[in-house]
Amino acid sequence: MIVDFRRKKSSPSPLVIDGRTVDFVQHFKFLCSTISSNLKWELNVVNIVKKAQQRLYLLRRLRSFGLTSQVMLNFYRAVIEIVLLFSITVWFGSITQKETLRLNRVVKTASRIIGRELPSLEILYQQRLLGKANLISQDSSHPAHDLFEPLPSSRRFRSIKTRTNRFSASFFPLAIQTLSKQK
């Protein structure tokens, strides 16, 4: 897939690897995440919601069998929440508000089925973001470790200057902002 954000787009020359021409596609699935050529995550969110809604049926069936809310909560975390959170640090910062509402609707539905309040995806995303950022900041062999070095005069981290909203909504700038707020 070629991602081209130039203003004057020209048709790229065919890409040849090992004598075979690579096809141009608008989107493809990689590690269960759907990546679009325009780097928007709408199709990925649609697939996640579809998968999660299919699993909500199983949660409803568990409720009809009279299982306790703790058992249903364990099922939710093991079967539904894992689908919602898979690679969330990659895509959640870049999705639209409409897509966020679609995902949170699944969480609210599960909450009604279980009979307990469940944390929203924003909260779960912040937890994952902080966890990953802390791991990177503590691992000196990580390639991005230098981004998480605190400024010499304070405990805050050096923010990454971004020129586009797409980059400012990606993992590293958001992780650095979140870590700086935490300190």
pLDDT along the chain (183 residues), means of 10: 62 79 80 81 91 94 91 94 90 89 94 93 90 84 78 64 70 76 67
13 in any annotated domain? no
Residue type, 68: T
CB 125 within 8 A of CB 103: no
103 in any annotated domain? yes
Q: What is the largest CA-CA distance in the chain?
A: 61
Please identify, among 103, 118, 133, the residue that sits at the C-terminal boundary of a domain: 118
Please tell me the total count of domains within the chain. Answer: 2
Residue span of the structural domain in which 138 resides: 124-182
29 in any annotated domain? no
> What pLDDT does residue 133 have?
83
48 in any annotated domain? yes
> What pLDDT does residue 48 have?
92
Residue type, 41: W
Residue carrying the six token digits 């608008």: 26
Residue carrying the six token digits 């269960």: 32
Helix (H) or strand (E) holding 27: strand 27-30
> What pLDDT does residue 153 have?
64
pTM above 0.85, yes or no: no
Please identify, among 118, 151, 173, the residue that sits at the C-terminal boundary of a domain: 118
**Displacement of CA 77 from its chain's centroid (Å):** 17
> What pLDDT does residue 130 have?
87
Same domain membership, residue 104 and residue 46:
yes
Nearest to 179 by CA among 141, 126, 143, 142: 126
